[in-house]
Amino acid sequence: MNISVIGTGYVGLVTGACFAEFGINVTCVDKDAAKIEALERGEIPIFEPGLEEIVRRNARAGRLHFTTDTGSAVKDSLVVFIAVPTPPQPDGATDLSYVDSVARAIGSHLDGYKVVVTKSTVPVRTAERVRAGITEAARASGKDSVTCSVCSNPEFLREGSAVEDFLRPDRVVIGADDEQAIAILKDLYKPLNLIEVPFVVTSVAAAEMIKHASNAFLATKITFINEIANLCEKVGADVHDVARAMGLDGRIGRKFLHPGPGYGGSCFPKDTLSLVSFSEELGVEQRVVSAVIEANEFQRRRMVEKIEAMTGGIEGRTLAVLGLSFKPNTDDVRLSPAIDVIRLLQERGASVRAYDPQAMERAAAELENVVFASDAYDAARGADALILATEWNEFRRLDLARIHEALREPVIVDMRNIYEPPEMERLGFRYAGVGR
Ligand SMILES: NC(=O)c1ccc[n+]([C@@H]2O[C@H](COP(=O)([O-])OP(=O)(O)OC[C@H]3O[C@@H](n4cnc5c(N)ncnc54)[C@H](O)[C@@H]3O)[C@@H](O)[C@H]2O)c1
């Protein structure tokens, strides 16, 4: 079977490469010619563990192709995945212009029956809009009958473990209204039957809702434990004790109960805003998620207050920040807590030295006046405090005696609770974590 994936970013490239790994003939399309040329040379534009190998192997085997030509990719494919960006507009509503332009491109190159699948995270009812866009473009290019199924197959992969998540997902959600499309999509994912991955087949609207409800729930869980952490600081309780005992309750579960600077990245912030926005349009208020968004923004400012308290004033200080990506094992800095906190520190008059194992190039495009260091010790050199912003493994094993020696003041603010407070005190640091 031939399929194409339109949009070759974090989701599109992983999706394309993993379907090729399943033995399917895949064409990845992107409008960014430089990206496609790099991929054709075997260069991977993003850092994602395991991705390079799987892309190279399948490209060599002739199952994975790259192009900027949407038309020919659509013509040659039975299934077309849409994996383009769905960024927020200033008012929080989703910008669907990328999805609309792909729908038009599909419509004007429609050639026989196709299954069109949105993998991008989209507001509920976007499939109807995609179908309308395809139909209009098809008619404009002289086609009288449009034979396509528009489905939703939301993606749940996590950056940093995206390949593993795609090949071993917790579930595959297929939102489709006709049996033929359901059968084709199930066939695409057939190798997952071997590892007994559950398939959830729903209406298109339910599939679109599942993605938003899942992300909003995870964002809520993170925000909830952050607020409990803030309370723990006041009463002298360790939030890790609280979270562990809470998580042992099977109804609650242990994951996503780790306090920190608040959620970030390219999904939770925009998807929570999107949910609130399209719910409002439908006349249904989302009070919980609205409060989560506000509390998450507050958590960033709280981190800055903590740094202020630990340094005795931010103005004129030099601060070392370790970690720039929004989470470990990725170079993605979109809405990264580290970047937000650096901006707030600079607004208050701090100079920042920063280091990240993978994300410095992307961070440099977002930030001004930051000195990028060659490693953690170089970042700490002469700084008035060290801020642990992203929990990369290499920051869990720092030579703390060297850090102590490099810093002008032995102050550490650990926004990820990587270290244990008593141990840090024993080593002579003034140390603050979150909720401990
Ligand atoms: N990143 C994640 O972890 C993740 C997880 C689940 C879902 N999603 C969703 O997947 C979608 C894509 O996210 P991403 O992180 O992969 O984005 P991305 O920005 O990394 O990649 C999108 C790609 O689409 C390309 N593109 C834009 N318009 C195009 C067009 N008309 N034709 C061809 N290519 C086009 C861009 O050049 C870019 O390379 C979003 O809706 C996002 O919410 C992302």
Ligand 1 mean position to 83 CA, how many Å?
Answer: 5
CA 77, 78, 79, 80 torsion: positive or negative?
positive
99 lines ligand 1 (CB under 6 A): no
Query: What is the distance between the alpha carbons of residues 77 and 3, in angstroms, rounded to a whole number?
Result: 5
Mean pLDDT along residues 12-23: 98
Mean pLDDT along residues 227-231: 98
Percent of the chain beyond pLDDT 70?
100
Atom of ligand 1 nearest to the CA of 35: 39
| pLDDT tens column, 73-99 | 999 999 999 999 999 999 999 999 999
Which amino acid is residue 249, in one-letter code? D
> Max alpha carbon distance in the chain (Å)?
77
- The CA distances from residue 105 to 28, 111, 136, in Å, are 15, 12, 11
Contacts by 371-376 with C-beta closer than 8 Å and gap 24+? 373/320, 376/322, 376/403
- 3-class secondary-structure state, position 61: coil
Mean pLDDT along residues 93-116: 96
Query: What is the distance between the alpha carbons of residues 45 and 226, in angstroms, rounded to a whole number?
Result: 34
pLDDT at 320: 98
Q: 344 falls in which pLDDT band (50, 70, 90)?
A: very high
Query: What is the distance between the alpha carbons of residues 92 and 87, in angstroms, rounded to a whole number?
Result: 9
Other CB atoms within 10 Å distance of the CB of residue 95: 15
**Over 90: is that where the pLDDT of 144 sits?**
no
Atom of ligand 1 nearest to the CA of 68: 33
Q: 199 falls in which pLDDT band (50, 70, 90)?
A: very high
Ligand 1 mean position to 426 CA, how many Å?
Answer: 47
Q: What is the DSSP letter of 428?
A: T
| Domains, in order of start, for the chain | 2-202 (3.40.50.720), 217-432 (3.40.50.720)
pLDDT at 32: 98
Mean pLDDT along residues 198-224: 98
Atom of ligand 1 nearest to the CA of 32: 37
6 lines ligand 1 (CB under 6 A): yes
Alpha-carbon dihedral 342, 344, 348, 352, rounded to 10 degrees = 0
Q: What is the DSSP string of 235-262?
A: HT--HHHHHHHHHTSTTT-STT---SS-
CA 15 to chain centre: 14
Which amino acid is residue 36, in one-letter code? I
* Average pLDDT along the chain: 97
Assigned token pair, 405: 């020696």
**Over 90: is that where the pLDDT of 145 sits?**
no
pLDDT at 205: 98
Ligand 1 mean position to 35 CA, how many Å?
Answer: 13
Q: Is 232 a catalytic residue?
A: no
| pLDDT tens column, 303-338 | 999 999 999 999 999 999 999 999 999 999 999 999
Query: What is the distance between the alpha carbons of residues 363 and 332, in angstroms, rounded to a whole number?
Result: 9
**pTM to 2 decimals?**
0.96
Q: 11 falls in which pLDDT band (50, 70, 90)?
A: very high
| pLDDT tens column, 367-380 | 999 999 999 999 99
